[in-house]
Amino acid sequence: MANALARSRRLAAALIALRTDRGMSHRMLASAAGVSTALISRMEHPEAHLTSKPELARKPSPDAIPRLLGALGVAEGSDLWSEIVGLAIAGSVPGWWETMPLGARQRAWAKVEDGTSWIAEYGIHLWPGLVQHPDYAQQRARVGQPHPTTVDVHVIVAGRVRRQQVITEGVTYNLVVEEQAIRRPSVPDAVMAAQLDYVLKLTELPKVSIQVLPVSARVADGPVSNTPYSLMTYPDPEDPRIVAIDTTSDDFLVTDESSVEGYAQLHTRLRAAALSDEDSAAFIREAAAELAAS
């Protein structure tokens, strides 16, 4: 299934190109099409507010597309007309995250991960949400909430478990994780032991690669990222890639293709510097054995 955000971004690019080519401002197009300027702005910037106020990041309005295309001089029934209408419909398809009471950050991550063909992630001090054992996720969710909190930690964990289906359903998943995420006692030993065992089971999946980047590793040809990130690629090569940046309090989306390509090249360098899949699994097993013996 196509990623709704990717299709919304393609729709936005098509509308911007048409409006610019016709020399029309938002106000001019809104007047000609009989819609609001706010609607046009939302459709041209589908990722705006997604990570902070997802209720403002509204979906495309397929009903308004014929009026916009008519005002832009696109012939009804033409190939371009059909393509743009199709993008609007695909971009408005509801996702599973809309049926769960998730927080803004979880909804944003679910929306960008949906329908991916390849996910490349980099973890520094913690294991990313897509590979977290439920007990590990629960511990981290509790630590990450303000006190007192009205957030249901169990809902957060349920959201992460549901998001993990992208891996078990066959997406190609490449994770490079720093040694600190394994060695640092960020959760109780028993929880970390369960987490490491869970990761080892994931490595048995045919499309999953998990590599450990030792503290002593040298990453060639440039700097590394100082924040965790996730690079999402979609099956349709016309759907633009996107990078999600994970920080302590907020998440950010990188949509500029040249910047996204920079992350893709960085990930290639990180993978080259990290231990092989086999050596990484051995490293994780050794760490698990040390926990069991302590």
Quick one: average pLDDT of 11-26? 96
* pLDDT reported for residue 196: 96
* pLDDT reported for residue 145: 54
**Average pLDDT of the residues of the chain:** 90
Question: Does the bond joining 148 to the residue before it have cis omega, within 30 degrees of 0?
Answer: yes
3-state SS of 21-69? HCCCCHHHHHHHHCCCHHHHHHHHCCCCCCCCCCCCCCCCCHHHHHHHH
* pLDDT reported for residue 148: 44
Please name the helix (run of DSSP H) or strand (run of DSSP E) that holds residue 85, with its range, or none.
helix 79-91
E-strand ranges in the chain read 118-123, 172-178, 208-213, 229-233, 242-246, 251-254
Determine phi and psi for 114, rounding to 5 degrees: -60, 135
Q: Between residues 67 and 145, which one has the greater pLDDT?
A: 67
Quick one: average pLDDT of 243-262? 89
Q: What is the pLDDT of residues 147-166, one digit of tens each?
A: 444 568 888 899 999 999 99
**CA-CA distance, 180 to 177, in Å (whole number)?**
8
* pLDDT reported for residue 230: 97
Asked whether the beta carbons of 220 and 209 are under 8 A apart, the reply is: no
User: Which of 53-62, 124-133, 162-171, 189-198 is predicted with the least confidence, judged by mean pLDDT?
Assistant: 53-62
Q: What is the pLDDT of residues 254-286, one digit of tens each?
A: 999 999 999 999 999 999 999 999 999 999 999
* pLDDT reported for residue 251: 82
**CA-CA distance, 78 to 81, in Å (whole number)?**
5
Q: Per-residue pLDDT for 231 more than 90?
A: yes
Which residues make Cβ contacts (< 8 Å) with residue 230, sequence separation at least 6?
Answer: 109, 112, 113, 119, 120, 121, 122, 128, 130, 243, 244, 246
Confidence of residue 225 (pLDDT cuts 50, 70, 90): confident
Q: Per-residue pLDDT for 53 more than 90?
A: no
